[in-house]
């Protein structure tokens, strides 16, 4: 088999890369180790930055999002028993869209297949070879047979637990890492969210987040200890904490829990995001705690930069954008990391904090929700920084 760009992973990064390349007339093949059903039902991110929702619309995969997504002009911070609204639209003229990542996945898979794109699901034993040369290769098993793809470039879009990052010699990479002394218990509940926009809540019992997938489907999170097990969280305990951590600011309706799990918190950046002709994009190169809602958005930004670089190469033979890929992405990645860390340290109850830190957090929450300058900075980062051309 032969293609121009072989892509490992059919998450937001891999699918969007393949879609963007196709719009430029560049061929690709996607290899995914899970089934189509699995990737289309995996519940993950739900928040799309303004530029990213614009990109989905401009590239012809945003039609259902425009119909079914929920467009938000701002966000609520709850602390000291009151709700404080940050109005993104007034501050920076932008908003965000709530639309499940699995819906973005469904829309991209459908579009790739309609356009004649190749996605091989349920592949096994994927390995990458000859990364330093001009004809890198991918070997894998599919439907019981061994295959090899020869290509010009490999898109390493296989997430945090994929094989692309570990295939790069460790001596060529530097990893920057931070763990947090807490995680989140997350549920999907058949009930209306307490507000039509998101509530991030600071509380003495710990952080909680009230988001949604639709007006009748709430996505709710509570902070838990780092080594906690979901077995320790019967439904009644989750509801109790969710009620308490809203701090009396809104009533909370309970509903049937459709899904329940633990989300781990970590910041991780790998430098550089490239080795020879292997280009890492999305979670394979960086992850961040979900407090800033940056993961899916960063994945889309990386592949937009990568597609522009590959397109320039095929049009003119010029490799300057390819050489700058990692540096271009990392400038934005580090700002998103900084913001995700900032939101995380601002809202969580941290066992390493003392009474001084709690007062300091409250002062910062008060500052962000009362100073136009501070609120504008928050709004600019939350709705998404521009992607460098
Ligand atoms: P993905 O989505 O993990 O996709 C990687 C794909 O590669 C496949 N794969 C392989 N395929 C072939 N061979 C192998 N050896 C392979 N190994 C893996 C996997 O099956 C998968 O299909 O990475 P990608 O594309 O980089 O996208 C990243 C996002 O998925 C991730 O950053 C977000 O979900 C993070 N995130 C959020 N991001 C946001 O922008 N906004 C949010 O509101 C938000 N909320 C969240 C989140 C992540 C969460 N969890 C579960 C970690 C909320 C949660 C709870
Ligand atoms: C979500 O809707 O799942 C979501 C929204 C914002 C976050 C994290 C998760 O910060």
Q: Where residue 215 sits, what CATH number does that domain have?
A: 3.30.9.10
In the residue annotation, 84 being an active-site residue is answered as no
pLDDT at position 260: 96
* pLDDT in single tens digits along all 389 residues of the chain: 999 999 999 999 999 999 999 999 999 999 999 999 999 999 888 999 999 999 999 999 999 999 999 999 999 999 999 999 999 999 999 999 999 999 999 999 999 999 999 999 999 999 999 999 999 999 999 999 999 999 999 999 999 999 999 999 999 999 999 999 999 999 999 999 999 999 999 999 999 999 999 999 999 999 999 999 999 999 999 999 999 999 999 999 999 999 999 999 999 999 999 999 999 999 999 999 999 999 999 999 999 999 999 999 999 999 999 999 999 999 999 999 999 999 999 999 999 999 999 999 999 999 999 999 999 999 999 999 999 87
Of 263, 294, 320, which residue constitutes the final position of a domain? 263
- The C-alpha atoms of residue 178 and residue 181 are separated, in whole angstroms, by 10
pLDDT at position 368: 98
Do 17 and 140 sit in the same domain of this protein?
Answer: yes
Residue 98, both tokens: 């709530």
Contacts (Cβ under 8 Å, ≥6 apart) of 329: 273, 281, 285, 301, 302, 305
**Quick check: is 80 in a domain?**
no
**Quick check: is 30 in a domain?**
yes
Do 104 and 246 sit in the same domain of this protein?
Answer: no
Do 41 and 67 sit in the same domain of this protein?
Answer: yes
Contacts (Cβ under 8 Å, ≥6 apart) of 71: 95, 96, 97
Residue 241 near residue 233 (C-beta atoms within 8 A): no
In the residue annotation, 382 being an active-site residue is answered as yes
* Ramachandran angles phi, psi of 171, nearest 5°: -70, -15
List, in sequence order, every residue forming a beta bridge with 260; answer none if it has no partner: 187
Residue 271, both tokens: 């430098």
Do 28 and 172 sit in the same domain of this protein?
Answer: yes
Residue having the nearest C-alpha atom to atom 41 of ligand 1 = 293
Do 271 and 253 sit in the same domain of this protein?
Answer: no
The answer to whether the CB of 328 is under 6 A from ligand 2 is no
Residue 180, both tokens: 């947090």
In the residue annotation, 202 being an active-site residue is answered as no
In the residue annotation, 367 being an active-site residue is answered as no
Do 257 and 307 sit in the same domain of this protein?
Answer: no
Instruction: Pick the catalytic residue from 12, 136, 194, 290.
Output: 290
- Closest by CA position to 222, among listed 296, 78, 237: 237
Residue 384 near residue 49 (C-beta atoms within 8 A): yes
Of 224, 242, 263, which residue constitutes the final position of a domain? 263
**Quick check: is 372 in a domain?**
no
Residue 287 CA, closest ligand 1 atom number: 32
Strands 137-142 and 124-129: antiparallel
User: Is 34 strand, coil or helix?
Assistant: coil
- The C-alpha atoms of residue 163 and residue 158 are separated, in whole angstroms, by 7
**Quick check: is 380 in a domain?**
no
Do 133 and 255 sit in the same domain of this protein?
Answer: no
Do 142 and 30 sit in the same domain of this protein?
Answer: yes
Range of the domain at 149: 5-72+96-179+266-349
Q: Return the ligand number nearest the Cα of 297.
A: 1
The CA 287 to ligand 1 mean position distance, Å, reads 9
Residue 363, both tokens: 């002062």
Q: How many domains does the chain have?
A: 2
Residue having the nearest C-alpha atom to atom 2 of ligand 2 = 46
Do 273 and 342 sit in the same domain of this protein?
Answer: yes
**Quick check: is 318 in a domain?**
yes
Strands 96-98 and 47-49: antiparallel
Of 263, 284, 299, which residue constitutes the final position of a domain? 263
Neighbour count for residue 235 (Cβ, 10 Å): 13
Q: Write out the E strands in 143-300.
A: 145-150, 153-156, 174-179, 183-190, 199-201, 208-214, 217-224, 256-263, 266-271, 274-275, 278-280, 286-287
- The C-alpha atoms of residue 158 and residue 164 are separated, in whole angstroms, by 7
- Closest by CA position to 283, among listed 265, 268, 264, 261: 268
* DSSP codes of every residue in 273-340: SEETTEEE-GGGTEE--GGG--HHHHHHHHHHHHHHHHHHHHHH---HHHHTHHHHHHHHHHHHHHHH
**Quick check: is 78 in a domain?**
no
**Quick check: is 374 in a domain?**
no
Do 240 and 127 sit in the same domain of this protein?
Answer: no
**Quick check: is 274 in a domain?**
yes
- The C-alpha atoms of residue 182 and residue 289 are separated, in whole angstroms, by 10
Do 37 and 163 sit in the same domain of this protein?
Answer: yes
The answer to whether the CB of 117 is under 6 A from ligand 2 is no
Neighbour count for residue 205 (Cβ, 10 Å): 14
In the residue annotation, 137 being an active-site residue is answered as no
Residue 131, both tokens: 């990364």
pLDDT at position 388: 87
State the CATH number of the domain containing residue 56: 3.50.50.60
Do 154 and 256 sit in the same domain of this protein?
Answer: no
Radius of gyration of the chain (CA): 21
């Amino acid at each position: 088999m032969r293609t121009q760009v072989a892509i490992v992973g059919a998450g937001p990064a891999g699918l969007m890369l393949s879609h963007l390349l196709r719009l430029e007339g560049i061929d690709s093949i996607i290899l995914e180790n899970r089934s189509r059903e699995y990737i289309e039902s995996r519940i993950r991110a739900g928040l799309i930055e303004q530029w990213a929702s614009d990109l989905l619309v401009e590239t012809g995969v945003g039609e259902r999002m425009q119909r079914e997504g929920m467009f938000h002009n701002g966000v609520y911070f709850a602390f000291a028993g009151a709700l404080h609204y940050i109005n993104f639209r007034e501050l920076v003229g932008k908003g965000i869209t709530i639309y499940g990542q699995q819906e973005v996945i469904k829309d991209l898979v459908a579009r790739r297949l309609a356009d004649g794109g190749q996605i091989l699901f349920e592949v096994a034993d994927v390995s990458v070879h000859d990364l330093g040369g001009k004809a890198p290769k991918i070997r894998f098993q599919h439907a019981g047979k061994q295959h090899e793809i020869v290509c010009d470039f490999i898109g390493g879009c296989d997430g945090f637990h994929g094989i692309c990052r570990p295939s790069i010699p460790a001596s060529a990479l530097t990893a920057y890492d931070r763990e947090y002394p807490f995680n989140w218990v997350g549920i999907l509940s058949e009930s209306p969210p307490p507000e039509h926009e998101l509530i991030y809540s600071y509380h003495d019992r710990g952080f909680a987040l009230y988001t949604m997938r639709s007006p009748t489907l709430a996505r709710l999170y509570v902070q838990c200890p780092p080594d906690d097990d979901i077995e320790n969280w019967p439904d009644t305990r989750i509801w109790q904490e969710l009620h308490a951590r809203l701090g009396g600011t809104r009533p909370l309706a309970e509903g049937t829990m459709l899904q329940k799990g633990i989300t781990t918190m970590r910041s991780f950046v790998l430098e550089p995001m490239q080795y020879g002709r292997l280009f890492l994009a999305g979670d394979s190169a960086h992850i961040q705690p979900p407090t800033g809602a940056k993961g899916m958005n960063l994945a889309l930004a990386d592949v937009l930069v990568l597609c522009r670089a590959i397109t320039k190469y095929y049009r003119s033979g010029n490799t300057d954008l390819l050489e700058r890929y990692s540096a271009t992405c990392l400038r934005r990645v580090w700002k998103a990391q900084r913001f995700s860390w900032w939101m995380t340290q601002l809202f969580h109850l941290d066992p390493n904090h003392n009474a001084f830190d709690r007062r300091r957090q409250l002062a910062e929450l008060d500052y962000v929700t009362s100073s136009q300058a501070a609120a504008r900075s928050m709004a600019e980062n939350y709705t998404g920084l521009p992607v460098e051309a």
